[in-house]
Structure formats: structure tokens, C-alpha cells
Amino acid sequence: MLDIKLLRTAPDRVRENLRKKFQEHKMPLVDEIIKTDLQLRETKTKADVLRARRNSVSKEIGFMMAQGRKEEAERGKAEVASLAQELADLELLEERLAADVHGKMMHIPNIIDPSVPIGRDDTENVEVERFGEPAVPAFEIPYHIDIMETFRGVDLDTARKTSGSGFYYLCGDIARLHSSVLSYARDFMIDRGFTYCVPPFMIRGNVVSGVMSFTEMENMMYKIDGEDLYLIGTSEHSMIGKFIDTVLEEENLPQAWTSYSPCFRKEVGAHGIEERGVYRIHQFEKQEMIVVCKPEESPEWFVKLYRNTVDFFRSLDIPVRTLECCSGDLADLKVKSIDVEAWSPRQRKYFEVGSCSNLGDAQARRLGIRVKNRETGNNYFAHTLNNTVTAPPRMLIAFLENNLKEDGSVAVPEPLRPYMGGKAALVPRA
């Protein structure tokens, strides 16, 4: 959520940002917010004048009574009663206007970074850099479900019976590989100075609205019927929520966390064959990075975070590239975002395996995450960032395709072997 002062002092900057994000339909909101905000401030001023008058008259009543001026005191009491009713009406109006401003402000997107490329959707995202050589072997790479089935490692048919489409059973070596990748990702991030955390997997509605836009909420979140609880779509949600309504000391920043959680998503929309199987699913597990820092530190942390993901995938012999998200592809709370995409030898193209985002102070404003300035004693809003370390089973697709051998075995890179009982390769089962 933006600072209301920005709309008061620089509304054209907000309008230009809406144009860059191709959200011209939200233009009327700017004028509506400015008008309602002015009404709100006028109402507050009038209420303050009435409170001062009420307090003054209330004090005078005591003096009048002490001096035996009962008739004047009664008139004073009548005025106080009248002021109290008028003030109550103003307070109700103030509450309504404040809710109106806040509700509309929640729909105004964050100001994007000047470096963000302008484009309507993900087809206009811009490649930044490649890491590793994308290779296509001489033999044919099977569909990822077919690879898993050679190890008797996946059961989609039974999952459809128990849970419906978009779910899976992972078994045997594939299930072990899944868990090993997550364990390795956890230790990889701990070794880079991040604090490990397992957060709650359900959060309240006020946290949901604090960490994401309404559009994301509708497209992603599962709500627990009859309760103010939502299943998290990523541990970023509960990890940022961890700091709700807190004032942090500057010396305790930055806070760098790596968290594990299952993730639950609606994954709305129809998808092609390559996005079926275990690519686009309702339930998966993920290792995440979350940083809470000073505003001036967030650009540097942004680069550190996505490079962590690049380094993680390269350590497992998976070529990747980074892709800068264009303005129209940025969620409303994001200032800047870079996707990390892994190479698919089967498709001969890259596909998304992680997303790194700098949200500026948007989440901090919504959730009340402040920092106390050591020198002045004043509080300011923190910046928050998040990034995916790895999210199997989607990551397993890239792993299996890039480490598959012609005989059907899958090489296990050195860093992963301790988590796989020392195995150097996975061998298909007859």
C-alpha cells in the first residue's frame, strides 16, 4: 500500500505508474481517494475543534457550580450534551471515510522501480543472464511422469481418487529425492547465513491481505470454511506475518530467514501437457528466503537473493537463466521481480522454478512493520523481500531431465549424495 502523502502531493506519479502497469481502469480511484481523504481530514479537524470546545465547557461547568451559577452551568451541560452527539456523528463519519480511503488504497499498485521494463504481460519479460550451458542430449528425453514411472516413483491415478486432479503420490527413490532436495536446500541457505524456520501453515485474513493483493488472494488461497484461516500459498505469507505490528531495532536488521513449508494453491486455469503431471499442482513443498531490512539495503539484497537460487541450481548441474518481469507482469505489491528459470532438455526451453521479489515497504505498511531510527527515535517502514530456493516436485522435472542418462539412470550430483544414502545414481526398477 502506498503512502497517502504520495497521492496528496504527487498524484500524477501514481497515474503514470498505473499507465506503466496497464491498469488505466484504476485511474478514477486516484481522484476518489484524494477527494475522500480531503473530506476525512476536514472531518478530523472539525472533530478536534468540537473536542476542544467540549473539554473547555466541561471545565467551566465546574467553576460555575462552585460559584453557585447553576443556571449557566445547566446551559453548559446542555451544550456538552449537544457537542457529544455531534462529535459521535463526526466520529462515525470519520470511521466510514477512513475505511473508504483504506479500501481503495489497497487496490493502488506499488510504484515500480525505474529499471523495470515496460510490458503488458509475461510474454514481454526480458532475459537478463544465463548460467551454464543448455544442452540437448542425442537420445530422447521422456515426459517427466514417464521418467518417474520407470522408478515406480509417482502415482497420479490413486491421487485423483483420493484428492482429485492436481495431487500426487511420490514413492521410493523419487520421494527420497524430493525430500533430499529440500534438505540440501535448507542446509545450503543455513550455510549462507540464513536462520531456518518452520512457520504456521495457516494464517488469518488480516495477514493474507497484508502480504498480497486481492487478485492474488482470489486466484491462489484456499480458505478454511467457517474460520478466519487460510492455507498458505508460500511460507513467505506466514514469515512476513511473523513481524506484524512490530517495531524493530536497527541493530537487529537485516533479518534473513529461510523457511520450509507445504504450499497450497488453487492454480486457476487450463494448461498444456507440459504443465500437467507434477508441474502445476495444488499442493507442493518449498524452501523459501525472506528478508526484512532497511530501505537502502533492499536493492543489494534483491541481487543476493536471486543469485542464491542460481547458485543452488548450478550446484546440481542444472542450467538456469534470470528473467526480469515487466511492469504488466508484476503483482501490485512488487517494486521489482526476477524469475529464475531452469533449462528443460525435453522442451528445449527454460521454465520457471523460482521468483525473487522486492516489495519495498508495501507489506510493511499493510502489516505495521516498523523500524526505530537509532539517531532520531522516529519509526519508519521496513522493506521486505522474498525468493524461492527450490520448490519440488516442479524442480524435480528440471533435475531429472538434466541428469538423465541414455540407459534411463539419473545421476546424483555430489552435493546431494549425502542426503541420498551415498547413491551416485538412481537406477530404474524392472
Task: Write the pLDDT tens digit of every residue in 259-312.
Answer: 999 999 987 544 454 556 888 899 999 999 999 999 999 999 999 999 999 999
pLDDT computed for residue 375 by the predictor: 86
Average pLDDT, rounded, for the chain: 93
Query: How many CA atoms lie within 13 Å of 300's alpha carbon, on the beta-carbon side?
Result: 6
Q: Is residue 111 part of a domain?
A: no
Identify the CA nearest to 281 among candidates 306, 262, 258. 262
pLDDT computed for residue 216 by the predictor: 76
Percentage of the chain modeled with pLDDT above 90:
82
> Based on the domain organization, do 64 and 134 belong to the same domain?
no
CA dihedral 176, 180, 183, 189 (to 10 degrees): -160
Q: Do you find a cis peptide bond into 262, omega within 30 degrees of 0?
A: no
Q: What is the pLDDT of residues 385-412, one digit of tens each?
A: 999 999 998 899 999 999 999 999 999 9
> Based on the domain organization, do 101 and 130 belong to the same domain?
no
Q: Which residues contact 269 (CB under 8 A, 6 or more apart)?
A: none
Alpha-carbon distance of 257 to 35, in angstroms, equals: 41
> Based on the domain organization, do 59 and 140 belong to the same domain?
no
Out of 48-62, 100-114, 187-201, 300-314, least confident range: 48-62
> Based on the domain organization, do 176 and 217 belong to the same domain?
yes
More confident residue, 280 or 426: 426
Report how far apart the first and last C-alpha atoms of the chain are (Å, whole number). 57
> Based on the domain organization, do 287 and 335 belong to the same domain?
yes
Look up the CATH number of the domain holding residue 33.
1.10.287.40
Average pLDDT over residues 245-249: 97
Alpha-carbon distance of 430 to 418, in angstroms, equals: 25
> Based on the domain organization, do 156 and 20 belong to the same domain?
no
> Based on the domain organization, do 177 and 78 belong to the same domain?
no
Q: Which residues contact 338 (CB under 8 A, 6 or more apart)?
A: 128, 302, 306, 322, 323, 324, 325, 355, 356
Alpha-carbon distance of 409 to 221, in angstroms, equals: 38
Identify the CA nearest to 310 among candidates 151, 128, 187, 137. 128
pLDDT computed for residue 57 by the predictor: 78
Q: What is the pLDDT of residues 205-226, one digit of tens each?
A: 999 999 988 777 777 899 999 9
Backbone angles phi and psi of 360, in degrees to 5: 55, -135
pLDDT computed for residue 270 by the predictor: 45
Out of 105, 139, 171, a domain closes at: 105
Q: Is residue 314 part of a domain?
A: yes
Average pLDDT over residues 327-347: 96
Out of 77, 105, 133, a domain closes at: 105
pLDDT computed for residue 163 by the predictor: 94
Q: Is residue 71 part of a domain?
A: yes
Write the DSSP string, 279-298. TS-SEEEEEEEEEEE-GGGH
Is the Cβ–Cβ distance between 410 and 322 less than 8 Å?
A: no
Is the alpha carbon torsion for 364, 19, 120, 214 positive or negative? Answer: positive
Q: Is residue 38 part of a domain?
A: yes
> Based on the domain organization, do 221 and 80 belong to the same domain?
no
> Based on the domain organization, do 185 and 273 belong to the same domain?
yes
Is the Cβ–Cβ distance between 100 and 208 less than 8 Å?
A: no
CA dihedral 246, 248, 254, 258 (to 10 degrees): -30
The set of cell numbers assigned to 240 is 512476513
Q: Is residue 113 part of a domain?
A: no
Look up the CATH number of the domain holding residue 221.
3.30.930.10
> Based on the domain organization, do 96 and 144 belong to the same domain?
no
> Based on the domain organization, do 139 and 71 belong to the same domain?
no
What is the distance of C-alpha 428 from the center of its chain? 39
Instruction: Find the domain containing 368 and state its range.
Output: 122-426
Q: Is residue 143 part of a domain?
A: yes
Out of 76, 105, 134, a domain closes at: 105
Q: Which residues contact 129 (CB under 8 A, 6 or more apart)?
A: 321, 322
pLDDT computed for residue 430 by the predictor: 63
Alpha-carbon distance of 153 to 361, in angstroms, equals: 43
Q: Which residue in the block uniquely carries the three cell numbers 453548559? A: 76
Is the alpha carbon torsion for 175, 262, 391, 417 positive or negative? Answer: negative
Q: What is the pLDDT of residues 91-103, one digit of tens each?
A: 999 999 999 999 9
Is the Cβ–Cβ distance between 256 and 189 less than 8 Å?
A: no
Backbone angles phi and psi of 210, in degrees to 5: -80, -30
Q: Is residue 358 part of a domain?
A: yes
Q: Using CB atoms within 10 A of its CB, is residue 62 exposed (0-12), middle (13-18) or buried (19+)?
A: exposed
Q: What is the pLDDT of residues 163-194, one digit of tens each?
A: 998 899 999 999 999 999 999 999 999 999 99
Average pLDDT over residues 44-60: 85
What's the structural domain count of the chain? Answer: 2
pLDDT computed for residue 13 by the predictor: 97
Give the DSSP letter of residue 304.
H
Please give the single-letter amino acid code of residue 250: E
Alpha-carbon distance of 158 to 161, in angstroms, equals: 5
pLDDT computed for residue 268 by the predictor: 53
> Based on the domain organization, do 65 and 150 belong to the same domain?
no
3-state DSSP call for residue 384?
strand
Q: Is residue 179 part of a domain?
A: yes
* H or E segment to which residue 129 belongs: strand 126-131
Neighbouring CB atoms inside 10 A of 342's CB total 26
* H or E segment to which residue 197 belongs: strand 195-197
Q: How confident is the model at residue 62 (pLDDT cuts 50, 70, 90)?
A: confident
